[in-house]
């Protein structure tokens, strides 16, 4: 029999872990809808509390459905440890807080998902935590923003809506030369397109709500640990007890023990069950997403009402070459941004679409559209809003419908612009 390690990504996404479990022949993880687990005797519960068994205690701590998904996601991202969270933002906030103490500093890309931007620049400030923002495409700028106090470097694989693709390997080398870990939000690429740990990243985070689920039925997040950063360095002396307890997995252990358990952002197992179902088709969906995105980007570029299209698949895109190399020629993601004459033109387009959905999500099998300036950034202070969003910009998440239907819907709506 072929061993799991020899399977391709698409096969692993479906089969990994299924036969390892005593599920009475079930091919999907059962939904362990129970707040707590009873124990045969007091000694077993005591030993479980002190970490001597892998048994489950209470849903906020662990749950068998969640554990199944954690193992699978770790395998798909080449990680050693995985901690599921209730949403992508729960993964990002808890995952970063596990690295930070009051008064610390970290360095992050200035192109960030809106809530990550707010968390880093506003919420963390309340705890005296400073972020230094850098241009993710400028290694010199990144280097200058890693100071003596930096605890980690944070980037996104594909930024949104700027569609920048930073050079993960070079940034990981830079971070490591300065003795700090690299954290990557890999949501927009998914592990099918890019595996940052294989490029040198130490910690990877995802909103599983997007491509990993694909159906838009579940919310979730995960923090994945490569298990190879040296936490015993002097700078991370506060990690000593966790290194002593778990060695390579010191970060995962700290995240679990201090943050996951006590902040309580545990996913309901129903969400993990739904995410596991979605994961089965990740490879197939991503292939179709890539083909469709290229077709849609080309259609938009040729349309006279569209003023510009930002899609890394174009060979004149500044990140085209790094994307080809980093994504192994598999595609360029399925997100793009494009411009129309003004905000009213954007509204006219959105209001005349039949099939494409106007909503605040991405990475779904359905094609999704949004005008970020008037929606996600609506409540931002005007100056910041203008800096981060453009009133003429449409963000587009290409789905897996037939690309001719997506283009036809756009064409029809663009005639009203
Ligand atoms: C890149 C990125 N990271 C994180 C998140 C947050 O994920 P969630 O909505 O699951 O909290 C999003 C949501 O759109 C995202 O696009």
* Residue nearest (by alpha carbon) to ligand 1 atom 8: 88
Residue 37 located in a structural domain? no
121 and 146 share a domain? yes
pLDDT, tens digit, for every residue of 154-199? Answer: 999 999 999 999 999 999 999 999 999 999 999 999 999 999 999 9
User: Quick one: pLDDT at residue 277?
Assistant: 96
147 and 257 share a domain? yes
Average pLDDT over the chain, rounded to an integer: 96
Distances (CA, A) of 172 to 167, 179, 222, 266, 322: 9, 10, 20, 29, 15
**CB 85 within 8 Å of CB 267:** yes
Rounded distance between C-alpha atoms, residue 23 and residue 42, angstroms: 26
396 and 410 share a domain? yes
% of residues, the chain, pLDDT over 70: 99
pLDDT, tens digit, for every residue of 74-104? Answer: 999 999 999 999 999 999 999 999 999 999 9
For residue 19, what pLDDT band results from cuts at 50, 70 and 90? confident
Rounded distance between C-alpha atoms, residue 398 and residue 292, angstroms: 7
Q: Mean pLDDT, to the nearest integer, of 245-255?
A: 97
* Residue nearest (by alpha carbon) to ligand 1 atom 14: 361
- DSSP 3-state assignment of 54? coil
Sequence-ordered list of residues with C-beta below 8 angstroms from that of 171, at least 6 positions apart, any chain: 136, 139, 142, 153, 155, 182
* Residue nearest (by alpha carbon) to ligand 1 atom 10: 88
The set of protein residues with a Cβ atom below 6 angstroms from ligand 1 is: 87-89, 113, 115, 156, 160, 185, 187-188, 207, 209, 219, 221, 362
Q: Ligand 1 center to residue 87 CA distance, Å?
A: 8
Q: Ligand 1 center to residue 3 CA distance, Å?
A: 34
Region class of 8: left (phi > 0), else alpha (psi between -120 and 50), else beta: beta
**CB 289 within 8 Å of CB 40:** no
Query: What tokens appear for 306 in the block?
Result: 């569209």
pTM over 0.85: yes
Of ligand 1's atoms, which has the minimum distance to the CA of residue 209?
Answer: 10
User: Residue 8: which domain range?
Assistant: 4-30+62-279
User: Quick one: pLDDT at residue 3?
Assistant: 61
91 and 76 share a domain? yes
Q: Ligand 1 center to residue 382 CA distance, Å?
A: 23
Q: Which helix (H) or strand (E) holds 250?
A: helix 250-254
User: Quick one: pLDDT at residue 387?
Assistant: 86
Best residue among 91, 93, 112, 115 to mutate for probing ligand 1, ranked by most atoms within 8 Å of CB: 115
Q: Ligand 1 center to residue 163 CA distance, Å?
A: 15
167 and 241 share a domain? yes
78 and 154 share a domain? yes
* Residue nearest (by alpha carbon) to ligand 1 atom 6: 88
Q: Ligand 1 center to residue 113 CA distance, Å?
A: 7
Q: What is the Cα Rg of the chain in Å?
A: 22
Residue 348 located in a structural domain? yes
Rounded distance between C-alpha atoms, residue 273 and residue 264, angstroms: 19
User: Quick one: pLDDT at residue 4?
Assistant: 67
Best residue among 109, 113, 375, 396 to mutate for probing ligand 1, ranked by most atoms within 8 Å of CB: 113
How many domains, the chain?
2
User: Quick one: pLDDT at residue 23?
Assistant: 87
Q: Ligand 1 center to residue 185 CA distance, Å?
A: 9
* The pLDDT of residue 1 is above 50: no
Q: Which of 244, 279, 314 is the last residue of a domain?
A: 279
338 has which bridge partners? 309, 394
- Closest-CA residue to 188 (of 372, 322, 389, 363): 363
246 and 268 share a domain? yes
- Burial (CB count within 10 angstroms: exposed 0-12, middle 13-18, buried 19+), residue 2: exposed
Q: Mean pLDDT, to the nearest integer, of 340-362?
A: 98
Q: Ligand 1 center to residue 68 CA distance, Å?
A: 22
Best residue among 73, 86, 89 to mutate for probing ligand 1, ranked by most atoms within 8 Å of CB: 89
Q: What is the CATH number of the domain that holds 175?
A: 3.40.640.10
Q: Ligand 1 center to residue 406 CA distance, Å?
A: 24
224 has which bridge partners? 82, 204
* Residue nearest (by alpha carbon) to ligand 1 atom 9: 88
- DSSP 3-state assignment of 360? coil
Residue 182 located in a structural domain? yes
For residue 266, what pLDDT band results from cuts at 50, 70 and 90? very high
Q: Which of 246, 279, 312 is the last residue of a domain?
A: 279
Q: Ligand 1 center to residue 91 CA distance, Å?
A: 9
Q: Which helix (H) or strand (E) holds 342?
A: none
Q: What is the CATH number of the domain that holds 401?
A: 3.90.1150.10
Nearest 5°: phi and psi at 35?
A: -70, -30
Q: Ligand 1 center to residue 126 CA distance, Å?
A: 22
């Amino acid at each position: 029999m072929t061993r799991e390690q020899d399977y391709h990504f698409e096969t692993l996404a479906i089969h990994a872990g299924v036969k390892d479990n005593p599920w009475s022949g079930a091919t999907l993880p059962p939904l362990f809808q129970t707040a707590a687990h009873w124990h045969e005797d007091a000694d077993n519960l005591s030993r479980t509390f002190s970490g001597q068994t892998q048994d489950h205690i209470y849903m906020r701590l662990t749950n068998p459905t969640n554990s199944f998904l954690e193992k699978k996601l770790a395998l798909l991202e080449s990680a050693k440890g995985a901690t599921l969270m209730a949403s992508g933002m729960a993964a990002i906030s808890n995952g970063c807080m596990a690295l930070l103490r009051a008064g610390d500093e970290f360095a992050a890309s200035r192109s960030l998902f809106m809530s990550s931007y707010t968390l880093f620049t506003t919420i963390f400030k309340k705890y005296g935590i400073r972020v230094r923002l850098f241009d993710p495409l400028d290694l010199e700028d990144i280097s200058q923003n890693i100071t003596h106090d930096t605890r980690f470097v944070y980037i996104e694989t594909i930024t949104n809506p700027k569609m920048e693709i930073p050079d993960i390997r070079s940034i990981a080398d830079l971070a490591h030369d300065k003795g700090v870990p690299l954290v990557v939000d890999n949501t927009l690429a998914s592990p099918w397109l890019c595996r940052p740990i294989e490029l040198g990243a130490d910690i990877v985070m995802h909103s599983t709500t997007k491509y990993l689920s694909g159906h838009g039925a579940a919310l979730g997040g995960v923090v994945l640990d490569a298990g190879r950063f040296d936490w015993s360095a002097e700078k991370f002396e506060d990690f000593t007890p966790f290194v002593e307890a778990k060695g390579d997995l010191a970060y995962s252990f700290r995240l679990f023990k201090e943050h996951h358990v006590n902040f309580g952002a545990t996913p309901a197992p129903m969400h993990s069950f739904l995410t596991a179902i979605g994961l089965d088709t990740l490879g197939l969906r991503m292939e179709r997403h890539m083909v469709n995105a290229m077709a849609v980007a080309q259609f938009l570029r040729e349309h006279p009402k569209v003023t510009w299209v930002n899609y890394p698949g174009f060979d004149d895109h500044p990140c085209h070459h790094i994307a080809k190399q980093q994504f192994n020629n598999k595609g360029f993601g399925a997100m793009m941004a494009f411009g129309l004459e003004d905000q009213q033109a954007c509204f006219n387009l959105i209001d005349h679409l039949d099939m494409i959905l106007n909503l605040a999500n991405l990475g779904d099998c359905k094609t999704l559209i949004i005008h970020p300036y008037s929606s996600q950034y609506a409540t931002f202070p005007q100056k910041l809003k203008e800096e981060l969003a453009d009133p003429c910009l449409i963000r587009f998440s290409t789905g897996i419908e037939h690309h001719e239907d997506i283009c036809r819907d756009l064409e029809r709506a663009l005639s009203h612009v």
